Structure 1
């Protein structure tokens, strides 16, 4: 009996000692003790300043509307008929700076509202071309609407904007309707970079 009691007492003391040791380690680890470590640094060989570019467009306030015959008109007072074609021409300034920068020039013609048949006829037939340094950039495709991709050079460039809106209708379609194009806009946006 006494041997069994002594064994139980010894085991109890052993576990108490282990618990005390674990507690001491925990106190050392979390109680403000510090562990030294080696550390070094060196300046990068090719460190440099990174500079962002610019892309902007502004109107030169010289826009004109002409009819199929090339006569200047006021579209607010002009009444179109099937077979007519209206053209808006203006020079704008693109300010572009950035390596590998290309831009898409587009118009907001598809967003204009008015008589539904007339809106559809003008929107679907509208096209845009951009002239830069004597070269004309036509729409990317017929399905992408009135827009064109143009290369950009560092600094300001004057581009010619021409928006052509033919009107074709049959029978009684699109008669007596109006489309508000007073908020006509030209937008320039960066094209996604390849790679």
Structure 2
């Protein structure tokens, strides 16, 4: 092997200039990608915002009723005062309770019911089962008449609904002195309106 120094062939000036330009271009690309990836400065991830339905308002409906108007009638439809009217076997008396319903809601479904206090309902049921008293509850408005409860939809909005509870004492049932001078409080009786 020759001890003389060996020289690698040198690049031509034109080729060296071309490599330097390519290196700068690659470096600039790496820097640009780095800026985009970092999300900093002007070169962040692209985004855009546009308002939709900005003036729309969503509104809740309502299910409510006015304070009931209450009165009593006898079997002939004559108004009576329950505090002073004295019931005897064969009599019929009716409790009338009417209210104006507010029912706003496109898919609203509800029910209006007449509810007696638990102890009174138990007493009524026992008398009915023994055959002393019969009773039923009817609901009516200009739109419909139903038994036991009144179904509510948005079509009932603004309607006056009347609940009528009818009590009839059996005149043929022998009771000796059972029920004489008895009194019953209806405190706690109410109309109940609920969504279904």
TM bin, normalised by shorter chain, reads 0.5 to 0.7
Contact 2:113 2:192 in 1 (8 A): yes
State the aligned residue count: 148
Q: Which residue of 2 aligns with 1:153?
A: 155
Contact 2:71 2:97 in 1 (8 A): yes
Q: Which residue of 1 aligns with 2:98?
A: 91
TM-score (norm 2): 0.58
Query: Alpha-carbon deviation of 1:156?
Result: 2.7
Cα distance, 1:78–1:42 mapped onto 2, change above 3 Å: same
Deviations 1:137-170 (A, max 9, x none): 212xxxxxx3222333375322233222223383
The answer for unaligned runs of 5 or more in structure 1 is 1-35, 140-145
TM-score (norm 1): 0.58
Matched ranges for 1:37-48 at <5 A = none
Q: Which residue of 2 aligns with 1:70?
A: 77
The answer for unaligned runs of 5 or more in structure 2 is 1-37, 40-44
Matched ranges for 1:118-137 at <5 A = 120-121=126-127, 125-132=134-141, 134-137=142-145
Contact 2:65 2:100 in 1 (8 A): yes
Contact 1:118 1:178 in 2 (8 A): no
Greater Cα radius of gyration, structure 1 or 2: 2
Contact 2:108 2:195 in 1 (8 A): yes
Distance in 1 (CA, whole Å) between partners of 2:87 and 2:170 is 10
Distance in 1 (CA, whole Å) between partners of 2:92 and 2:50 is 65
Query: Alpha-carbon deviation of 1:65?
Result: 0.6
Query: Alpha-carbon deviation of 1:83?
Result: 2.7
1:175 maps to which of 174, 179, 194 = 179
